[in-house]
Amino acid sequence: MEKMIIATKNKGKVQDFKELFSKYGIEIKSLLDLEESIPDIEETGDSFAENAAIKAETISKMFSLPVLADDSGIEVDALDGRPGIYSARYAGEEKNDQANIAKLLNELSTVPLDKRTARFVCVLAVARPGQSTIFKRGTCEGNIANEPHGNNGFGYDPVFYPKGSDKTMAQLSSQEKNTISHRKNAIIQLEKWLKDN
């Protein structure tokens, strides 16, 4: 594998993957690097894996190259795994972090802190022409806070206490967050696969 497309326009994600793949001599392109406009790909799957695969496989077919895509979100045990794949649009289609957090905290208002177990989930899908799609999953376990704390990060970071921490994800530095995050743990699984292939 000499080239791979990362199916994102998020510069932070692209940098993370560039660092990983450079060790293996794999050249990385992101959707920002491609001159062709990529249409928005509707994520119609019922799981993180299905949504990641839809993105990866669609773009892989377009360019006949390996493509890595991810899908991620938060699962709350007291809500039977919600918001899950609907994390980004939990409070509506317009993707509003504050509204999503408000809805989540409202739904958990009667649930005590020790019963607010949750996890961030990231599933990576690597689609390769003519081969089966590879999936790697990473999680970060923790609990949902009673109210938001911290200004770093995005999404549900201000209300998520990683296991064993008295700070929310949004109170951690980006370096601290990157050592424990669900994306980092999925990348570790992907790196094991890269070493073996």
124-156 pLDDT, tens per residue? 999 999 999 999 999 999 999 999 999 988 899
Distance CA 169, CA 154 (A): 9
Averaged pLDDT for residues 38-49? 89
Residues 33, 71, 77, 166: which is the catalytic one?
71
Task: Say what the pLDDT of residue 147 is.
Answer: 95
Least confident of 28-32, 47-51, 116-120: 28-32
Enumerate the known binding-site residues for Mg(2+). 42, 71
- Please, what's the b/e burial string for 87-105 (b: 16 or more CB within 10 A of its CB; e: otherwise)? bbebbeeeeebeebbebbb
Residue-range definition of the domain harbouring residue 37? 3-196
**Known catalytic membership, residue 80:** no
Residues 6 or more apart from 182 whose CB is under 8 A from it? 72, 119, 120, 121, 122, 138, 139, 140
Residue 57: band (very low, low, confident or very high) from pLDDT cuts 50, 70, 90: very high
Enumerate the known binding-site residues for substrate. 8-13, 72, 154-157, 177, 182-183
Residue 12: band (very low, low, confident or very high) from pLDDT cuts 50, 70, 90: confident
Q: Residues 152, 172: contact at Cβ < 8 Å?
A: yes
Averaged pLDDT for residues 58-78? 95
pLDDT at 86 over 80: yes
Enumerate the known binding-site residues. 8-13, 42, 71-72, 154-157, 177, 182-183
Task: Say what the pLDDT of residue 76 is.
Answer: 98
Q: What is the percentage of the chain residues whose pLDDT exceeds 70?
A: 100
Chain-wide mean pLDDT for the chain? Answer: 92
We report the CATH number of the domain holding residue 139 as: 3.90.950.10
Q: How many domains does the chain have?
A: 1
Task: Say what the pLDDT of residue 19 is.
Answer: 79
